[in-house]
């Protein structure tokens, strides 16, 4: 019997400083790299200095991708993904860049959010460390260090609490160092202050979280650490670094310029230029979690995604996208002092109404997620001011970095939350107007459900113990609620808030109140 052909796949990673191609095939519990190509392409130089890609950079990218396309054909690779991160994500003309690449090479670029990066890193960590390190039983800070950014996720027993991207990529730190005109020590101190300034926000967010460990994903510098610290070489590409060792590293590095670092520690010049910044980041992480270790994994985002493609592994359903986003939403609620009992109750009512109304309104099952997130987050504007708090809510949500959601999806959620009270959607509302018509209709449908479910807990006392949806003889919708106490306030609010749903659905909605047994 002929052996089954191993699964093969390829990935192209359009990074800040280079474009990489990896081709791999399945090899038992891991992957075997068949081809690895890397070409310098200074996309970050365009984005971070000028804000947009030049035509020269776009043409250079196309030339590299055309060469990679031929290499993929040589291997007969059909399963190919092209990903891009910070440099493309932050470019003002990224849409033109993506369209040009698609037209001229046939490759469709996936622009990864911070949440996308961490999702694949987390899945990869779980896959390769499952017998060595229990990542889903700990409170962890997981970071991926690239040339353009330092992407960070804080996770509690496998659930994401927050994702942030800090502009501390190695290319950015190199650019900063090149602009400084002080002495060597003054310049290093300025870089250190810049790093500490960016970490200040993270420290505030971590105030109420007790971290067990920090895991840093790094493919460029880890290999040089043993030689500098006189340690044995890494085992299994997973390296433990103590706070004292990060101090030792700084002591050996920060009295030398890049030429001296390259010569003494046999580090390539392009890495020696940025090694001081790397050492400072390690030490700043160590200070976040005093007297604990930093675990450094020698890997890359492209390797993590490619392993996922070939091995087709999945993190437990427990940690799926919806549950991760609800976890983040709950964390945001705590941050903004939201009444969590209220929003959880309204979320349960919203989900039940969605399930009963989705056919009437022509909703897709996947759109429930937008409604649930808007339900959890709709009161966060109260943190700013109780007057017009729905407008503050819209602003806050629209500026959140939500796990694996696009900018458009976040805008939709912000608008749904805004319209939980007061005025209806209007073309004079800038965020709503910026969205395509199909998304505007979706906002109206989901907001109409949120307005009803929120009205049923107007007192924030969770009086509804059961909710049933039915039709009467006239085919009107009847909501039968079993309640525990006086429901007069909720009834009044319901009468006011049901109008939007009735207008969209074309059906009358009646409320039937009965005492819970």
Tens-digit pLDDT profile for residues 353-382: 999 999 999 999 999 999 999 999 999 999
Transcribe 123-140 into DSSP letters. HHHHHHHTTT--GGGSEE
Strands (E), 193-259: 213-218, 238-241
Type and span of the H or E element at 194: helix 184-205
Query: pLDDT-based confidence at 226, cuts 50/70/90?
Result: confident
Give Cα 339 distance to the centre of its chain: 25
What is the pTM (predicted TM-score) of this model? 0.83
pLDDT of residue 434: 95
Give Cα 7 distance to the centre of its chain: 29
Main-chain dihedrals φ then ψ at residue 140, nearest 5 degrees = -125, 150
Integer CA distances (angstroms), 56 to 41, 60, 104, in order: 11, 6, 14
Judge contact between 76 and 136, C-beta under 8 A.
Answer: no
Of 176-185, 214-223, 405-414, the least confident = 214-223
| The pair of three-digit structure tokens given for residue 414, joined into one six-digit string | 């912000």
Query: pLDDT-based confidence at 416, cuts 50/70/90?
Result: very high
Highest mean pLDDT among 23-32, 185-194, 205-214, 280-289: 185-194
Q: What is the pLDDT of residues 26-55, one digit of tens each?
A: 887 778 999 999 999 989 888 888 899 999
Who has greater pLDDT, 355 or 404? 355
Q: What is d(CA 405, CA 209) in angstroms, rounded to the nearest whole number? A: 24
| The pair of three-digit structure tokens given for residue 24, joined into one six-digit string | 């791999």
List the strands of the sheet with 509-515, edge to edge. Answer: 464-471, 477-483, 509-515
Residue 270 has pLDDT above 80, yes or no: yes
| The pair of three-digit structure tokens given for residue 404, joined into one six-digit string | 């694996």
Does the domain made of 8-111 have the CATH classification 3.30.420.110? no
- CA geometry: angle at 27 spanning 24 and 28, to 5°? 150
Q: How do the residues of the chain divide into helix, strand and coil, expressed in percent and rounded to 5?
A: 50, 20, 30
pLDDT of residue 108: 95
Who has greater pLDDT, 201 or 292? 201
pLDDT of residue 482: 94
**Do the domains 320-461 and 8-111 match in fold?**
no
Domain ranges in the chain are 8-111, 114-311, 320-461
Integer CA distances (angstroms), 48 to 54, 57, 108, 516, in order: 12, 13, 23, 61
Fold of 320-461: Hypothetical protein af1432 (1.10.3210)
Query: pLDDT-based confidence at 443, cuts 50/70/90?
Result: very high
pLDDT of residue 481: 94
Q: What is d(CA 492, CA 201) in angstroms, rounded to the nearest whole number? A: 43
Who has greater pLDDT, 128 or 304? 304
Mean pLDDT rounded to a whole number for the chain: 90
Residue 248 has pLDDT above 60, yes or no: yes
pLDDT of residue 3: 61
Query: pLDDT-based confidence at 1, cuts 50/70/90?
Result: very low
CA nearest neighbour of 376 among 314, 411, 333, 335 = 333
Q: What is the pLDDT of residues 51-102, one digit of tens each?
A: 999 999 999 999 999 999 999 999 999 999 999 998 999 999 999 999 999 9
Average pLDDT over residues 262-280: 91
Residue for token pair 């659905």: 505
pLDDT of residue 293: 83
Of 13-22, 143-152, 235-244, 351-360, the least confident = 235-244
Q: Where does residue 150 rank: exposed (0-12), middle (13-18), buried (19+ CB within 10 A)?
A: buried
What interhelical angle do 340-361 and 321-335 show, nearest 10?
140
DSSP single-letter state for residue 380: G
Q: What is the pLDDT of residues 477-499, one digit of tens each?
A: 999 999 988 999 999 999 999 99
pLDDT of residue 503: 93
pLDDT of residue 483: 93
Integer CA distances (angstroms), 276 to 196, 284, 388, 503, in order: 14, 12, 48, 62
Residue 4 has pLDDT above 80, yes or no: no
Transcribe 326-368 into DSSP letters. HHHHHHHHHHTT--HHHHHHHHHHHHHHHHHHHHHHT--GGGH
Fold of 114-311: Nucleotidyltransferase; domain 5 (3.30.420)
Residues in the chain: 517
| The pair of three-digit structure tokens given for residue 302, joined into one six-digit string | 């492209």
What pairs with residue 14 in β-bridges?
A: 19, 84
């Amino acid at each position: 019997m002929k052996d089954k052909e191993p699964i093969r796949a390829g990935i192209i990673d359009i990074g800040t400083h280079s474009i990489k191609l990896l081709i791999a095939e399945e090899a038992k519990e891991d992957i075997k790299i068949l081809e690895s190509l890397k070409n310098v392409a200074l996309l970050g130089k365009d984005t971070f200095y000028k804000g947009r890609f030049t035509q020269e950079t776009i043409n250079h990218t196309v030339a590299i991708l055309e060469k990679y396309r031929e290499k993929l054909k040589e291997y007969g690779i059909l399963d190919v993904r092209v990903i891009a991160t910070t440099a493309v994500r932050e470019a003002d003309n990224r849409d033109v860049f993506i369209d040009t690449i698609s037209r001229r090479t046939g490759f469709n670029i996936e622009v990864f959010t911070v949440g996308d990066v961490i999702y694949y890193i987390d899945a990869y960590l779980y896959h390769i460390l499952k017998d060595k390190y229990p990542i889903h039983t700990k409170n962890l800070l997981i970071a991926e260090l690239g040339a353009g950014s330092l992407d960070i996720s804080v996770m509690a027993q496998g659930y994401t609490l927050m994702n942030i991207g800090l502009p501390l990529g190695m290319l950015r730190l190199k650019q900063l160092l090149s602009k400084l005109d002080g002495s060597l020590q003054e310049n290093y101190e300025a870089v250190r202050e810049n790093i500490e300034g960016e970490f200040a926000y993270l420290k505030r967010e971590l105030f109420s979280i007790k971290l067990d460990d920090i895991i840093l994903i790094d493919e460029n510098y880890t290999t040089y650490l043993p030689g500098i610290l006189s340690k044995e070489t890494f085992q299994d590409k997973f390296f433990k670094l103590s706070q004292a060792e990060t101090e030792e590293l700084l002591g050996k590095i920060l009295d030398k310029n890049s030429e001296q670092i390259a010569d003494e520690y046999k580090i390539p010049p392009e890495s020696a230029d940025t090694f001081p910044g790397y050492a400072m980041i390690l030490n700043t992480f160590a200070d976040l979690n005093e007297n604990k270790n930093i675990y450094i994994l020698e890997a890359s985002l492209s390797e993590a995604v490619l392993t996922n493609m070939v091995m087709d592994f999945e993190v437990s359903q427990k940690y799926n996208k919806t549950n991760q986003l609800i976890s983040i939403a709950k964390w945001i609620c705590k941050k903004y002092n939201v009444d969590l009992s209220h929003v959880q109750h309204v979320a349960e009512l919203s989900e039940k109404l969605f399930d009963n109304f989705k056919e009437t309104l022509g909703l897709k099952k996947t759109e429930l997620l937008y409604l649930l997130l808007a339900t959890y987050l709709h009161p966060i504007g109260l943190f700013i001011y109780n007057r017009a708090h729905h407008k503050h809510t819209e602003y806050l949500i629209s500026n959140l970095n939500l796990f694996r959601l696009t900018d458009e999806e976040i805008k939709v959620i912000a608008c749904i939350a805004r319209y939980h009270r007061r005025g209806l959607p209007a073309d004079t509302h800038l965020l709503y107007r910026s969205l395509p018509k199909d998304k505007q209709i979706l906002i109206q449908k989901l907001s109409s459900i949120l307005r009803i479910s929120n009205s049923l807990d107007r007192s924030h006392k969770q009086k509804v113990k059961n909710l049933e949806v039915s039709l009467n003889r006239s085919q009107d919708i009847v909501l039968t609620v079993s309640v525990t106490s006086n429901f007069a306030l909720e009834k009044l609010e319901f009468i006011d808030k049901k109008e939007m749903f009735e207008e969209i659905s074309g059906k009358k909605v009646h409320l039937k109140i009965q005492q819970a047994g």
